[in-house]
Amino acid sequence: MARAWPVPTAADWQLSLGGLLRRAAVNWPDNEALVIEQVRMRYGELLAESLTFARRLRASGVASGDHVALMGYNSANWVLAYFGIALAGAVMIPLNPRFSARELRYVLRKSRCDLLVSEEGLARRLSEFAEQEDDAVATLRLGVREYGGGTAYANLRPAAADAALPEVDPESTAVIMFTSGSTAFPKGCMLTHLGMVRNAFLHDARLHLNAHDRWFGPTPFFHASGCIWGILSVTAVGAAMVSCKKFDAAESLAILERERCTYQHGIDTICVRQLEAGSTRHFDLSRLKKGTTTGPMNLLVRLRDEMGMEFILSKWGTTEGHGNLSLCDIDDPPDKRLGTHGRLYEQFEYRVADPETGRVALAAGDIGELQVRGPAMKGYYDDPEATAALILPDGWLRTGDLGRIEEGYVHFTGRVKDMLKIGGENVAAQEIESALLSHPAVLNAAVVGRPHAEWGEVAIAFVERSAGATVSDQELSEHCRRHLAAIKVPLNYVFVDEFALTGSGKVDKKLLRVD
């Protein structure tokens, strides 16, 4: 399979988000850019609509550097608003449409938003702020503009078709993305145009993506996986973005078949649902050869064998690093593609450090905190203390992820906060979860720690069984003993019908933790 292009260089990504779209419209004006629900749009059309949105934003009072929040489910309107905000020189704050009134209030106030652009009906919960002394709506200098079945800019003030738009510095902030907080309110990552575009170019080169690819991206656009290595990745090569408003496993497989998609990005919770749906109904996925996902290595093998994704890869990254930070090339040997979390990018520096201090580099092959230097965000918005704790004075970004680096490949073993201390020994929750997921009756699993008088902490496993499957605590314990040291075998199992998920689609472990 030929490369889409040679390994990109710094000269390739010196672009703003709007500049990236302009480039795509010049190079591939008639290529399909978006296929979402009933809407199909080509790159030439997407640029024209995004420019109209940008000019109407400016006419409505938005100036360069102003903060514009965008709230909605995946749609063509969301994409053109995303690019329109960038072309207008404003900073976009993506909002999870499932946010509670409390979460919305916090993010709008914390980010000092000037304008909220919202899918029709979603902003209704703002009325819950009425008569509060710290009413978040009062901070919206330009108010709320909703879009429904029409064009996203319909409720913005009209503007001349040739109205001037500002030059946008690629090193300026493009997006303030609030990460999901596990113990407190989320923090706003200030991501630059250059950092996001660079991530897209590096990602595409490893996947050999080109203008003939059709990318299925069911992950939410408000998350890094949707708006960085989703929308921007396809725009960088003129490929098509195929998506859906809300994920349904069987419908997603039907879309893959109908749109003849060649690539899919889906996190582990999405992929296990698809595997379950595909076991009861046949779909023609013969064009689907490339894909990326999160999750254990045995999931990659299943996706290759059951969905035909010959080049399925696991990636590793963090929002604070502008997204993806390691990824195999599809030309890498199968054991690396299916057995690691990606090859290091030549453009960055990497090290493994003591997870407690974050400042002492460990020997090659040791497990510690994965750190990277080069792609870090500008910082957390209006939070210098949290920024200083995350980005060390010498530029190293503390990812909060555990792993090791061997022969230039990352082996991710879990989150620092997901490390259990059992009998004085460090045990990664992900290692136990991977063992559980290798049992045919287990659809999904999440492991958390529970305080214990003798051992300090013990593992508790929450298990979602595959459709129609039965399995007992004893069977799971015996299975784990065949794969894990005795100290790592969960003490108890809790069977759940379905896991609660975070806005980005991951299992929400903070709801499972037991004191």
3-state secondary structure of 437: helix
SS3 content of the chain, % helix, strand, coil (to 5): 30, 25, 40
Q: Exposed, middle or buried, 214 (CB in 10 Å: 0-12/13-18/19+)?
A: buried
Mean pLDDT in residue range 252-263 = 97
Residue corresponding to tokens 């109904």: 281
| CA–CA distance, 127 with 114 (Å, rounded to integer) | 17
pLDDT at 135: 58
Tokens of 406: 């061997």
Given this model, what pLDDT does residue 181 score?
53
Amino acid 235: pLDDT: 98
Q: Which residue did the predictor score with more confidence, 393 or 281?
A: 393
**Of 194, 248, 199, 161, nearest to 86 (Cα)?**
194
The pLDDT assigned to 515 comes to 47
Phi, psi (degrees; rounded to nearest 5) at 4: -70, -35
Second CATH level (architecture) for the domain 423-511: 2-Layer Sandwich (3.30)
DSSP-derived letter for residue 157 is P
DSSP letters spanning 241-274: EEE-SS--HHHHHHHHHHTT-SEEE--HHHHHHH
**What's the pLDDT tens digit per position in 121-157?**
998 877 765 545 455 566 799 999 999 878 889 899 9
* Residue in the structure block whose two tokens are 């649902």: 273
> Quick one: how many helices (H) and strands (E) in the chain?
14, 23
| Region for 123 from its dihedrals, namely left if φ exceeds 0, alpha if ψ lies in -120 to 50, beta otherwise | alpha
3-state secondary structure 202-215: HHHHHHCCCCCCEE
Show the tokens assigned to 344. Answer: 């290091």
Residue 416 has what pLDDT? 83
Predicted confidence band of residue 271 (pLDDT cuts 50, 70, 90)? very high
In 3D, which of 353, 352, 354, 331 has the Cα closest to residue 343? Answer: 331
- pLDDT, residue 260, reads 98
Dig out the tokens for 362 from the structure.
Answer: 């460990």
User: Does 305 have pLDDT greater than 90?
Assistant: yes
User: How large is the average pLDDT for residues 168-176?
Assistant: 98
The pLDDT tens digits for 184-216 are 568 999 999 999 999 999 999 999 999 999 999
Which architecture, in CATH terms, is 17-159+167-192? 3-Layer(aba) Sandwich (3.40)
The mean pLDDT value for 271-292 works out to 92
Confidence of residue 504 (pLDDT cuts 50, 70, 90): low
Over residues 400-414, the mean pLDDT reads: 93
Alpha-carbon distance 313 to 375, whole Å? 21
- Percentage of residues of the chain with pLDDT beyond 70: 94
The confidence band for 1, taking pLDDT boundaries of 50, 70 and 90, is very low
Looking at 3.40.50.12780, 3.40.50.410, 3.40.630.30, 3.40.50.2300, the CATH number of the domain 247-416 comes to 3.40.50.12780
Work out the average pLDDT over 289-295: 90
Hey, what are 319's tokens?
Answer: 């929002």
HSE, CB side, 13 Å, CA atoms: give it for residue 230: 25
Q: What pTM was estimated for this model as a whole?
A: 0.86
Decide whether 17-159+167-192 matches 247-416 in CATH topology: yes
Decide: 15 and 25 in contact? Cβ < 8 Å: no
Quick: pLDDT tens for 14-57. 999 999 999 999 999 999 999 999 999 999 999 999 999 999 99
Domain ranges of the chain: 17-159+167-192, 247-416, 423-511
CB burial readout 112-127, b (16+ within 10 A) else e: ebbbbbbbeebbeebe
Q: Which two tokens stand for residue 34?
A: 């978006």
Residue 427: band (very low, low, confident or very high) from pLDDT cuts 50, 70, 90: confident
pLDDT of residue 81: 97
Lowest-pLDDT range, 103-107, 270-274, 374-378, 418-422? 418-422
Average pLDDT over residues 284-290: 96
pLDDT band at 513; cut points 50, 70, 90: low
The chain-wide mean pLDDT, for the chain, equals 90
pLDDT in tens, 445-502: 999 988 887 777 889 999 999 888 999 999 999 999 998 878 899 999 999 998 887 7
Mean pLDDT of the 210-237 span? 95
